[in-house]
Structure 1
Amino acid sequence: MRIVHLADLHLGFRAYSRTNDQGVNCREADVFRTFRQALNKISTLKPDLLLIAGDVFHVTRPGNLAVVQTQRLLHNFIATTGIETIVIAGNHESVKTRDSSCILELFGLIEGVRVVCQQAEVLMAGDIRVACLPHNSLLEADHLDLRPDREAKYNVLMLHGTVDGNLVNDAGGANVPADFLEMDWDYVACGHFHGFRHMGRFIYYAGAIERTSNDIWKEAEEEKGFIEFDLEHKKAIFHPLPTRKTIDLPTIDAANKTIEVLDKLIADNVKQTDITDAIVRQQVINLPKSLQNQLDYRQIRTFQAMALHYLFVPKPLSLSIDQSFPSAEQKGSLYEEAEQFFNSYAISPDIDRATFVKTGLDYLQKATV
Structure 2
Amino acid sequence: MSDRSPVLRRSLLAAGLLLVLAMPFYLDGFWLLLGVLIMAAAIGAIGLNLLVGTAGQLSLAHAFFLAVGAYAYCWFAGESGPGGGGVTLTGLQLPPLLAAVLAVATAGFAGLLFSPIAGRVRGLYLGLASLALVFLGQHLLFNLSSVTGGFNGRTVPALAVAGFELTGNDPQLTVLGVPFGDRERQWYVALVCVVVAYVFARNVLAGRPGRALALMRDNETAAAVVGVPVHRYKAAAFVLSSMYAGVAGVLLAQALQRVVPEYFGLTLSVEYLAMVVIGGLGSVAGSVLGAAFVTGLPILLNHYSGHLSFLAEPGSSGIDPAVAARLVFGAAMAVVILTEPGGLVALARRLRLPPREVDEVEAAEQPQATARASAAVPHDTTSS
- Which structure has more relative contact order (CA 8 Å, sep 6+)? It is 2
Q: TM-score range by the shorter chain?
A: under 0.3
Q: Which has the higher helix share?
A: 2
Q: Give the structure with higher Rg (CA).
A: 1
Length-normalised TM-score, structure 2: 0.27
Length-normalised TM-score, structure 1: 0.28
Q: Which has the higher strand share?
A: 1
